[in-house]
Amino acid sequence: MLDRLRVIFGGFDWTDPDDRMRAFRSTIPTDALARAFGEWYFQYKRSSPDTALSLISDVFIEILDVRGEAAAEQFLDIADPSEV
């Protein structure tokens, strides 16, 4: 339940690999995580374009490892459709 509240209120530190893994291992649906990440990532890539591509690559590999290929593709499609 606490993880769900963190997603709703932006409590995950998406730049922290441990926090991302906690999110991906949670029972929070992939689409909800993707929307929360996408809202944050939109601002992040404007302020840090030089590291944004590296971050989205790391995120894709991490969610692929934890939730599988279908979930990773769904996550990326929702979080940053321009990357697809």
| Structural domain count of the chain | 1
State mean pLDDT over 53-71: 94
Is the pLDDT at 31 greater than 70? The verdict is yes
CA-wise closest residue to 77 among 43, 22, 30: 30
Considering the chain, what percentage of its residues have pLDDT values greater than 70?
Answer: 86
| Alpha carbon distance 1, 21 (integer Å) | 16
Is the pLDDT at 6 greater than 90? The verdict is no
Q: How many CB atoms lie within 10 A of CB 30?
A: 19
Helices (H), the chain: 2-8, 17-25, 30-47, 49-67, 69-79
Q: What is the mean pLDDT of the chain?
A: 85
Enter the pTM of the model.
0.82
Q: Give the model's pLDDT for residue 8.
A: 55
Provide the domain limits for residue 57.
Answer: 2-83
